[in-house]
Amino acid sequence: MSAPQPSAEALVSVSNIHTHYGKSHILHGVTLHVGAGEVVGLLGRNGVGKSTTLKTIMGLAQPSQGEVKFAGRAVTGLPAHKLARLGMGYVPEDRRIFRFLTVMENLRTGLDRRGVTAQRKQELLDKVFAYFPVLAERRHQPGGTLSGGEQQMLAIARAMMLEPRIILLDEPTEGLMPRMVSQIAQIIGALHRDGVAILLVEQNVPLTLQASERIYIMEKGMVRHHCAASDINVNDEAIRQYLGV
C-alpha cells in the first residue's frame, strides 16, 4: 500500500524518516501523520521500530534522513526539551517515573514552567487528580514505591502537566491487569474529548481499534498498512499477516 499523504492541517507529520542505532538501521523511511485532536494507533510486532518512531518524533533519537513537522513547523533535530515545551508529551514504554521524586515532584517536572500561573497549575493538578484519584492520595510518596499501574497513571498524568497538544503513548497497558487496562482506555477517551491528539503504540489490538480513528501497521522499520480503524477488525487479513504469530 502506498504511503498516505500527510494532510495540510496535520499536527504531527513524519516524512520518510530513517533512524539508526549505531550501525543498525532501524527505521527505513517511516511516513505517518496525526491530525489535531486525532487518536491514531501504531501497531506492529515486537522490534519493528514502533518505539523508535516515537523517540524520533520526540527528538530522543536523531533521524539520518527525513523530516518531522509539528504544527506546521520543521522540528527535526530539535532537542526533546524544546519539543516538550512546544506541546509534545511523551509516555515511554517503561514509564520512566522519577523513582526518588515524590508523585507531586514528578508532576512538577512538567508543571513548573514559565508562563503558568499558580491558578492554572492548580487547575491542571485538580484535573489529573480527578482522573487519577489514587495519585492524589499518594502525592507525597516516592514514585518508585507505586505499583506498576499507578506508575503508568503517573506517567500519563506527568505528560498531561505539559498541557500537550499530542501525547506519544507507548504501550500504556503493557503488564497491567484488566481493570487497569479499561481505566487506561477511559483516560485515552477523556484526553480525546479534551482535544488532545494521541499517537498510541499498543500490542492490545482490540483496544487500539476501539480507541483510535486511524491505524498504521509497521513491519521491519516501515509502515506497511494504513486504514481507518472502523475499516478493519481483529480477524482481518492485514492484522493476521502483520501481527499474527
Partner 1 sequence: MSAILEIFAAIPYDQVLIQTVNGIVTGMILALVASGLTLIFGIMDVVNFAHGELFMLGAYIGVVVLATTGSFWLALLIATLIVALLGAALQIVTLRPLLGRDPLTTILATFGVSLVLQNYALWQFGPVARKIQEPITGSFQLLYLEYPWYRLLIAALSAAIIGALWLFLKFGTWGIWIRAATQDRVMAQAMGIPVPWVHTGVFAIGAGMAAASGVLFGPLVGVTHAMGLDWVLKAFIVVVVGGMGNLGGSIAAAVFISLLEAYASIWVSPAQAVIVSFVVLILTLLIRPTGLFVPTPK
Ligand X SMILES: Nc1ncnc2c1ncn2[C@@H]1O[C@H](COP(=O)(O)OP(=O)(O)OP(=O)(O)O)[C@@H](O)[C@H]1O
Question: Could you tell me if 64 and 18 are in contact, meaning their C-beta atoms sit under 8 angstroms apart?
Answer: yes
Cβ 174 to Mg ion, closest distance in Å? Answer: 9
CB atoms within 10 A of CB 139: 15
3-state secondary structure of 96: coil
- Per CB under 8 A, the segment of 25-33, 44-52, 89-97, 184-192 that binds partner 1 is 89-97
DSSP 37-79: T-EEEEEE-TTSSHHHHHHHHHTSS-EEEEEEEETTEE-TT--
Q: Which residues pair with 30 in a beta bridge?
A: 17
Is 79 among the residues that bind partner 1 (CB under 8 A)? Answer: yes
Binding-site partner at residue 100 among Mg ion, partner 1, ligand X, none, CB < 5 to 8 Å by type: partner 1
Q: Which residues contact 140 (CB under 8 A, 6 or more apart)?
A: 102, 103, 104
Q: Which does 110 bind (CB under 5 to 8 A by kind): partner 1, Mg ion, ligand X, none?
A: partner 1
Residues 179-218 that bind partner 1 (CB under 8 A): none
Question: Among residues 13 and 52, whose Cβ is nearest to Mg ion?
Answer: 52
- By CB under 8 A, tell whether 85 contacts partner 1: yes
Four-CA torsion 157, 159, 163, 166, nearest 10 degrees: -120
Q: Within the chain, what is the greatest distance between any pair of CA atoms?
A: 52
Cα separation, 208 vs 205, in Å, equals: 5
**Smallest Cα–Cα separation from 139: which of 166, 104, 167?**
104
Is residue 100 within 8 Å of residue 54, measured between CB atoms?
A: no
99 binds, among ligand X, Mg ion, partner 1, none (CB under 5 to 8 A by kind): partner 1
Q: How far is the CB of 134 from ligand X (least distance, A)?
A: 26
Q: State which of positions 22-61 bind ligand X (CB under 6 A).
A: 24, 26, 44, 46-52
Which of the ranges 19-27, 99-107, 115-123, 181-189 carries the binding residues for ligand X, by CB under 6 A?
Answer: 19-27
Site for partner 1 in 126-155 (CB under 8 A): none
Using CB under 5 A, which of 19, 31, 51, 208 touches Mg ion?
A: 51
User: In the numeric block, which cell numbers belong to residue 139?
Assistant: 502525592
Q: Is residue 120 a contact residue for partner 1 (CB under 8 A)?
A: no
244 binds ligand X (CB under 6 A): no
Q: In the complex, which residues of this chain contact partner 1 (CB under 8 A)?
A: 58, 60, 79-81, 84-85, 90, 92, 96, 98-101, 105-106, 108-110, 112-113, 158-159, 161-162
